Amino acid sequence: MIKREIRIVGIDDGHFDKDKDDKALIVGVIMRGYGQIDGVLSNYVEVDGDDTTDKIIEMIRRTSHLNQIRIIMTNGISFAGFNIIDMNKIFEDLKLPIIAVIRKKPDMDKFIKALKKVKNYERKLEILKSLPEPKPIKTKYGLTYYQNVGISDEDAEEIIIKTSINSRIPEPVRVAHLVAMGVTLGYSRGKP
């Protein structure tokens, strides 16, 4: 049984122009379950780079809430274009389970074809292949997909369902998206 007040950090990136920007903002929102925001974290990552894994670890390590956080949730595995997170490394370094959620099942062939156009694509492909396949979960708002490391499917699904209170995306990730877009665009728009 997952506690209702479990501390979760939801992470998403903000708006960026891949033709002009070298860096993109990532935002972490620490929530107590789905009802209270306890903190906001931020960092910058390279567009199509290789540093999001390390920047997420750095961002979470420096928060005063570190000892309270129990779960990391991300909006997918790709930030700032094709800056792929290594969920296994994040789990190994922080000893915190990680769940990546996405609205729809990715077309892996199309994703890999696009990935081949960026630097260090071989390393990114290696990380991609090390991750679990996205699995579907039905929320009260519709189907969502998730990948999980360091947590059972059953517990990951319970957390996703309990925190998906306003959309099929869990509240910590949804709020991180709103904050990141509000800061980078000056207003929030779209769905994570």
Superfamily of domain 7-185: archaeoglobus fulgidus dsm 4304 superfamily (3.30.2170.10)
What are the residue boundaries of the structural domains of the chain, listed by start?
A: 7-185
Which residues are registered as beta bridge partners of 26? 13, 43
CB atoms within 10 A of CB 50: 18
Q: What amino acid is encoded at 167 in this protein? A: S
CB atoms within 10 A of CB 10: 30
Q: Which two tokens stand for residue 131?
A: 């991750």
Residue 106 is predicted with a pLDDT of: 87
Residue 1 is predicted with a pLDDT of: 58
What string of H, E and C letters represents the secondary structure of the chain?
CCCCCCEEEEEEECCCCCCCCCEEEEEEEEEECCCEEEEEEEEEEECCCCCHHHHHHHHHHCCCCCCCEEEEEEECCEECCCEECCHHHHHHHHCCCEEEEECCCCCHHHHHHHHCCCCCHHHHHHHHHHCCCCEEEEECCEEEEEEEECCCHHHHHHHHHHHCCCCCCCHHHHHHHHHHHHHHHCCCCCCC
Its pTM stands at: 0.95
pLDDT tens, per residue, the chain with 192 residues: 577 789 999 999 999 999 999 999 999 999 997 789 999 999 999 999 999 999 999 999 999 999 999 999 999 999 999 999 999 999 999 999 999 999 999 898 999 999 999 989 999 999 999 999 999 999 999 999 999 999 999 999 999 999 999 999 999 999 999 999 999 988 887 667
Residue 3 is predicted with a pLDDT of: 78
> Are the CB atoms for 48 and 34 separated by under 8 Å?
no
d(CA 49, CA 135): 26
d(CA 57, CA 53): 6
CB burial of residue 93 (10 Å; 0-12, 13-18, 19+): middle
